């Protein structure tokens, strides 16, 4: 069967979407786009410029002003991709605890989402793309040829987040990380604009207790299935 030209991978925070999505794209030779990193980059720009995360108008203007580029890793430091914000490498800066706390507010602003979705659809226009996020299969690319909803328990996602931070020398209490993940789940699921939910035609892949390799194999099998 022909490989699908557009692949959407959605799921909650910490489910491993970025890692698995980047590996799928590498395996297929596709463009990889982590839309969550785009919202994090906008949040980072807002914090730098002193934009109030509750000022929807200012955030909307900012989202249309900044230049965000996501490409292959440029440094061998464990990253799955490189994020440039107005030409500056912010790959790890946008993964800080401060960004974790503010990005839900930024991402739920309709004008911000409109600006990001416009860019995302343009990038997907030529196909051969793996796009990951929270509303790819439902909103950004509703006609994606293959849709996966990658998930894991909140406790497992908190453990992974802790391991990721520890690998960079940052130690945070597991309970604090769990609280942040549960709060993010609540905000993402209950927001009016593009709430987090599996698309009706998405295949749900549960990754608790799976290694990265095992989760990748499961997702690749889903992608290789004939379309329904």
| Residue position matching structure tokens 């290789």 | 224
Domain contains 219 = no
b/e per residue, 9-47, with b = 16+ CB within 10 A?
bbbbbbbbbbbbbbbbbeebebbbbbbbbbbbbbbbbbb
Half-sphere exposure of 30 (CA within 13 A, CB side): 26
End-to-end CA distance of the chain: 12
Domain count, the chain: 1
Domain contains 214 = no
Q: Per-residue pLDDT tens for 57-86?
A: 999 999 999 999 888 888 888 888 899 999
Domain contains 223 = no
Where are the alpha helices (H) located in the chain, listed in sequence order?
Answer: 17-28, 35-49, 56-65, 97-107, 110-124, 154-167, 174-190, 212-224
pLDDT on residue 227: 65
Half-sphere exposure of 107 (CA within 13 A, CB side): 27
Domain contains 119 = yes
pLDDT in tens, the chain (228 residues): 568 999 999 999 889 998 999 999 999 999 899 999 999 999 999 999 999 999 999 999 999 999 998 888 888 888 888 999 999 999 999 998 899 889 988 988 999 999 999 989 988 888 899 999 999 999 999 999 999 999 999 999 999 989 988 888 888 999 999 999 998 899 888 887 788 899 999 999 999 989 999 999 999 999 998 765
The tokens for 52 are 């109030």
Q: Over the Cα atoms of the chain, what is R_g?
A: 17
Q: Range of 72's domain?
A: 6-209
User: What distances in angstroms separate CA 42 from CA 3, 93, 109, 151, one per listed residue?
Assistant: 33, 12, 11, 25
User: What is the number of other CB atoms lying within 10 angstroms of the CB of residue 68?
Assistant: 21
Domain contains 63 = yes
Helix (H, G, I), strand (E, B) or coil at 130: strand
Domain contains 95 = yes
Residues comprising the chain, all counted: 228
Domain contains 139 = yes
The tokens for 142 are 């509703």
CA–CA dist 62, 42 (Å, integer):
7
Query: CATH number for the domain including 203?
Result: 3.40.50.300
Domain contains 226 = no
The tokens for 63 are 């989202």
CB 81 within 8 A of CB 71: yes
User: What distances in angstroms separate CA 164 from CA 3, 28, 156, one per listed residue?
Assistant: 32, 26, 12
């Amino acid at each position: 069967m022909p490989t699908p030209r557009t692949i959407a991978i959605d799921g909650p925070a910490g489910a491993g979407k970025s890692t698995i999505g980047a590996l799928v794209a590498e395996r297929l030779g596709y463009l990889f786009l982590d839309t969550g990193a785009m919202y994090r980059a906008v949040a980072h720009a807002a914090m730098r410029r002193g934009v109030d995360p509750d000022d929807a108008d200012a955030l909307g203007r900012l989202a249309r002003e900044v230049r965000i580029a996501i490409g292959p890793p440029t440094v061998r430091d464990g990253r799955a991709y490189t994020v440039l914000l107005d030409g500056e490498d912010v790959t790890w800066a946008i993964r800080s605890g401060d960004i974790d706390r503010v990005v839900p507010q930024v991402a739920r602003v309709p004008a911000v989402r409109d600006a990001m979705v416009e860019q995302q659809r343009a990038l997907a226009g030529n196909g051969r793309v793996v796009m990951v996020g929270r509303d790819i299969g439902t909103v950004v690319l509703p006609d994606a040829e293959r849709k996966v909803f990658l998930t894991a328990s909140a406790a497992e996602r908190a453990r992974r987040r802790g391991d990721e931070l520890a690998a960079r020398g940052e130690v945070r209490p597991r309970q604090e990380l769990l609280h942040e993940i549960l709060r993010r789940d609540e905000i993402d699921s209950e927001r009016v604009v593009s709430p987090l939910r599996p698309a009706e035609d998405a295949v749900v892949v549960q990754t608790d207790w799976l290694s990265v390799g095992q989760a990748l194999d499961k997702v690749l099998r889903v992608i290789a299935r004939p379309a329904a």
